[in-house]
Structure 1
Amino acid sequence: MNPISLSEAQALLARYVDAKDNNRPALIHEAFTPNATLTFSIDTDTISFPAKTEGAAAIAATLVTDFAKTFDRCRTYYVGDLSLAAEGATLTVPWLVLMRETAAHTLRVGRGIYRWGFAWQQDGTYRIGSLHIHIARMDVMPDAGAAMLAALQAALPYPWLPSQTLQASAAAQASADARLAFLKEFV
């Protein structure tokens, strides 16, 4: 068994974000092991998820199908440079999410940490065996026409977001629109 390479890990992370952000639940089954686990720790009361979900089908329901019933125009960004842990089977990645709560017509801006665990498969590939999502913050603000959301998303490369780019964009957006001053706390 070879340790997972950074390019293999990036491909799995790209598949995950494509599944979640583009409402493609079948991609979860390509990225995760059938018996994968998903856990959450949440430091805000503005969003909720089950503490633990087991199995790719349940993960697809939680993170894609059910998620898409409440949120749309979602873009999840991986912030900073990726580097595998010393043992080569885990990856911790800061994230930023920009999305709209459909019914409320609100902008949602969240941040946290993903902790990925990769599992070697009998076919000689890796898949995601575990995912822990820590949600440190999820801010909500009115955005009836989704203009703020569109402007924020247009200013950021997707899904790989260098920290410096996020810092510059947050400062520029906050300067252009005082309602977005809170973005400086997301860098």
Structure 2
Amino acid sequence: MNPISLTAAKALLGRYVDAKDNNRPALIPEAFAQDASLTFSIDTDAISFPARTEGASAIARTLVSDFAQTFDRCRTYYIGDAAAALTGDTMTIPWLVVMRETAAQTLRAGKGFYRWGFAAGQVGSYRIASLHIHIERMDSVPDPGAAVLTALQSALPYPWLPEPALKTVVEGYAAAQPELAFLQAFAEPARLP
């Protein structure tokens, strides 16, 4: 079988974002192989996940069901050019997440990179066989009423975010509101391995 096409890879990544951001765990098995693996590397103490998770059902619990107990109004953005990020059956692409920590009523912004591994499934189809999530940074600020969250999410193209748009929007918010100066750290995508 030929390597995964860009169209197929983007469709699987779209299914993942729909599942995660919209609290739809039943969609994970549509994107992930039954025996898929999930691993993390985390450079911050601001969030934690298990180092390794095996199987689509466990991945759905970790990334969707359990996640939604703490966070809501999540938007996950893929930064940059998907075509440039795809090599054979692997894609490594930076991400940005903007969400609300529900109980604390805080805006959470995070960045890192995804490393996706794709494998052939049924005839002519692919599934996600492995996902590594690197979390480089995760910051939070008070945002009662989620006004900043709403404005920021409305200004960012979703889910595919061109790097110039990221820089323009984030730098604009950071410059206009001193309490959002922390966002400046998110104007550039995470460093890739």
Q: Could you tell me which residue of structure 1 aligns to residue 162 of structure 2?
A: 162
Q: Could you tell me which residue of structure 1 aligns to residue 45 of structure 2?
A: 45
Matched length:
186
Equivalent pair of 2:85/2:93 in contact (CA under 8 Å): no
Q: Could you tell me which residue of structure 1 aligns to residue 131 of structure 2?
A: 131
Partner-residue secondary structure (3-state), 1:146: helix
Which one-letter code corresponds to 1:131 in the other structure? L
Partner-residue secondary structure (3-state), 2:33: strand
Matches within 5 A, 1:47-66: 47-66=47-66
| C-alpha RMSD of matched pairs (Å) | 0.9
4+ aligned runs moved over 2 Å, structure 1: 83-86
Q: Could you tell me which residue of structure 1 aligns to residue 185 of structure 2?
A: 185
Equivalent pair of 1:96/1:110 in contact (CA under 8 Å): yes
Q: Could you tell me which residue of structure 1 aligns to residue 23 of structure 2?
A: 23
In structure 2, how many angstroms separate the alpha carbons of the residues matched to 1:7 and 1:26? 22
Q: With structure 1 as the length reference, what TM-score do the two structures score?
A: 0.97
Give yes or no for the alignment of 1:72 onto 2:58: no
Give yes or no for the alignment of 1:104 onto 2:107: no
Question: Percent of aligned pairs with the same residue?
Answer: 69
Report the Cα offset of residue 174 of structure 1.
1.1
In structure 1, how many angstroms separate the alpha carbons of the residues matched to 2:179 and 2:112? 22
Q: With structure 2 as the length reference, what TM-score do the two structures score?
A: 0.94
Q: Could you tell me which residue of structure 2 aligns to residue 8 of structure 1?
A: 8
In structure 1, how many angstroms separate the alpha carbons of the residues matched to 2:11 and 2:176? 35
Which one-letter code corresponds to 1:5 in the other structure? S
Report the Cα offset of residue 184 of structure 1.
1.7
Q: Could you tell me which residue of structure 1 aligns to residue 145 of structure 2?
A: 145
Which one-letter code corresponds to 2:96 in the other structure? L
In structure 1, how many angstroms separate the alpha carbons of the residues matched to 2:86 and 2:28? 23
**Which ranges in structure 2 are unaligned for 5 or more consecutive residues?**
189-193
Report the Cα offset of residue 84 of structure 1.
4.5
In structure 2, how many angstroms separate the alpha carbons of the residues matched to 1:114 and 1:81? 13
Please give the per-residue CA displacement for 1:69-99, whole angstroms capped at 9, x wherever unaligned.
Answer: 000000000001113444x110001000000
In structure 2, how many angstroms separate the alpha carbons of the residues matched to 1:122 and 1:143? 46
Which one-letter code corresponds to 2:15 in the other structure? R
Equivalent pair of 1:115/1:131 in contact (CA under 8 Å): yes
Q: 1:51 to 1:146 in 2, by over 3 A?
A: same
Which one-letter code corresponds to 1:125 in the other structure? S
Report the Cα offset of residue 122 of structure 1.
3.0
Partner-residue secondary structure (3-state), 2:69: helix
In structure 2, how many angstroms separate the alpha carbons of the residues matched to 1:67 and 1:97? 13
Report the Cα offset of residue 124 of structure 1.
2.1
In structure 2, how many angstroms separate the alpha carbons of the residues matched to 1:158 and 1:170? 14
**Which ranges in structure 1 are unaligned for 5 or more consecutive residues?**
none
